[in-house]
Amino acid sequence: MALLVPGLPAARLNLRARLRSRLGAGSRWLDGLVLAVVALAVLLAVFGPLIAPGTVTTSNILDAMQAPSAHHWFGTDDQGRDVAWRIVAGARESLLSALLVVAGYSLIGCVIAAAAASGGKLVDEILMRLTDAVLAIPTIIFALGFAAALGPGLNSAIIALVITAWPVTARLLRGEIRQTLAMPYVAGARVLGMSRRRLLFRHILPNSLDALVVKWGADVGSTVLVITSLSFIGAGPQPPSPEWGAMVSEGANYITSSWWMALFPGLAIAVVAVAFALLADLIQERMAAGGER
């Protein structure tokens, strides 16, 4: 029995199941591959800029637009910079930024949900109407507005995404908290005199987050897509930043002559997004198996 999480499209939740059906019975290695890719991506996000050479942002016209070779595995760009090392260095801006966004909006969503579910009817009504108002704001339009007001850059993109992405978490968690509040052990804790604050943070919130863990895992990959999309249209990090979306944007100008400039950063984006979507499916499967036991 699958654990269905509200707000996640069924097609995305069944991604691993569909892949396994195509790969056959010996496809258990897929889980190990997903975990390895996610672990590698996180390590690159943390240590990538430290191990990449300092030339990833400096020009060397003599090496410009060299095709992939043993010396430059992914070729070089129009400024002579090694594309492979730029992908390694850019993992921090593309992936670590997505992790920060998910952490930021999750914190806001948890606070709003806890206040709405545990507060009175008036507090709940005000916070839910605020949630609806923010939910109606298109994320990309809001991010472009921030870029226009604060200037294009990574900070503008992160702030815009954090401000606009918390409502879904708040709504889902509010419902989970309300269900948890109706559990017998909560009533028992109240009878024993446990304070409202301790009950909320010690028992109610931890037991209400399970369903959202799957959503947050999948959201990392989708947030990478949004951040790189903003960079592609010029609202994210600016050149010579090695951010993956900016690299694809630069490479798109030379797609017919130097295809590797856009192809390899685009593959990095696709692999990370799919890996985190598969990780969310894996987490959901393990949670469902644990629930059945």
Higher pLDDT, 203 or 36: 36
Domain map of the chain by residue range?
10-51+82-292
The answer to whether 158 and 97 have CB atoms below 8 angstroms apart is yes
pLDDT higher than threshold 80 for residue 30: no
The segment with the largest mean pLDDT, out of 104-113, 155-164, 172-181, is 104-113
DSSP 85-143: HHHHHHHIIIIIHHHHHHHHHHHHHHHHHHHHHHS-HHHHHHHHHHHHHHHTS-HHHHH
pLDDT reported for residue 3: 38
Averaged pLDDT, 255-280 = 91
Averaged pLDDT, 29-50 = 88
The answer to whether 160 and 146 have CB atoms below 8 angstroms apart is yes
CATH number of 10-51+82-292: 1.10.3720.10
Averaged pLDDT, 187-198 = 72
The answer to whether 273 and 257 have CB atoms below 8 angstroms apart is no
Averaged pLDDT, 99-110 = 91
pLDDT reported for residue 17: 61
pLDDT higher than threshold 70 for residue 158: yes
pLDDT reported for residue 22: 56
pLDDT digits (tens, 9 = 90+) for 51-87: 888 778 888 888 888 899 988 899 999 888 999 999 9
pLDDT higher than threshold 90 for residue 267: yes
The answer to whether 207 and 173 have CB atoms below 8 angstroms apart is no
Low-confidence winner among 50-64, 100-114, 156-170, 188-202 (lowest mean pLDDT):
188-202
pLDDT higher than threshold 60 for residue 47: yes
Report the share of the chain in percent with pLDDT over 90: 18
pLDDT reported for residue 108: 92
Averaged pLDDT, 273-283 = 86
pLDDT reported for residue 4: 38
pLDDT reported for residue 138: 81
Distance of CA 185 to the CA centre of its chain: 34
pLDDT higher than threshold 60 for residue 174: yes
The answer to whether 49 and 230 have CB atoms below 8 angstroms apart is no
Under the banding of pLDDT at 50, 70 and 90, the label for residue 13 is very low
Under the banding of pLDDT at 50, 70 and 90, the label for residue 177 is confident
Alpha helices in the chain (DSSP H): 10-13, 15-23, 29-51, 83-91, 97-118, 121-135, 139-150, 154-181, 184-191, 196-199, 210-232, 244-252, 260-292
